[in-house]
Each structure stands twice: as structure tokens, then as C-alpha cells.
Amino acid sequence: MFLVIVEAAIYQNGRWLIIKRSEKEKHAAGLLALVGGKVDLTDHPNDILEHALRREIKEEVDIEVTDLRYVKSASFQLPNGEMALEAIFFCRPLSGLPHAVSADEVAKLYWMTTDEVLNHPNTPDYLKDQIERADRLLH
């Protein structure tokens, strides 16, 4: 019924870890986004969303995270007509230095303040909502 997607609002020192999606991506190519991806059948069935999120973060930016907290969920239609369900989680880096593991997925990494994310010309409306909601957890 849905493709399930998990995304991480990674926060440290007053800034969010934001990626610029590769131009090769089928969905939202070249736009700013949170780190994340699809839940796989190989993800552990207990705490599957959290397991998938940690796996995707490791695959995309090569860090470990802690302090996972639910932010929001939403559904949307992909360009191919498939329906997606996304779950957004707040988290903080635990270990590692983030870097783009695959240029086919992540073109660039940025540490941005909430205002920088909200005012960037390549920030889609859904990312603005995700960051605003994640930011509320801090206050």
C-alpha cells in the first residue's frame, strides 16, 4: 500500500545536518533534504523504523546517532504514482564525521540553522515543515 521512508533531523550545536540530493535522484533531485531512505525487508522487524533510519544514516553520511525522537509522519505521491509514507525522527550525532558516502545520492552536506533552512531557495515546503516541527522539540 505504501513505500515506507524514514528521515533524520540530525541536530548539533544549533544546526541541522542537511543534504543536497544528487541530480541523479528520481525524487526531489537537487533539492535540500534530511538524511534518510526506504525501509527494507532486511531491516530488523523489532523497531524497524529506528533500525532502518540508523542504517540509512550510516549508508548516506557514515555516522552513528542517538536520542531518536519521533517528529511527524506524512504521506505523499511519488512521481511514478506510488504512495509513500514517511516518518521523521529527531536525533543527535553520536560518533563519526558526516560525509557523503555516495555522490549518486548525496551531492553536498551542510550544517544549517533553522532560519538558514527555512530561507534557502532550494528548500521545499515539506522540509520547512519538518525542520519547524523538529525545532519545536528543542524549545
Each domain of the chain, given as residue ranges in start order, spans 3-136
Q: What is the mean pLDDT of the chain?
A: 94
CATH number of 3-136: 3.90.79.10
Q: What tens digit of pLDDT does each residue of 107-125 get?
A: 999 999 999 999 999 999 9
CB 117 within 8 A of CB 32: yes
Q: What are the residues facing 108 on neighbouring strands?
A: 20
- Beta strands 32-33; 64-77: pairing state: unpaired
Distances (CA, A) of 129 to 60, 96, 134: 22, 28, 9
- CA 79, CA 26: separation in Å to the nearest integer? 8
Cell of 17: 545536518
Reported as a single tens digit per residue, the pLDDT across 40-80 is: 988 898 999 999 999 999 999 999 999 999 999 999 998 88
pTM of the model: 0.94
Above 90 in pLDDT, residue 24?
A: no
pLDDT computed for residue 80 by the predictor? 87
What is the radius of gyration, based on Cα positions, of the chain?
14
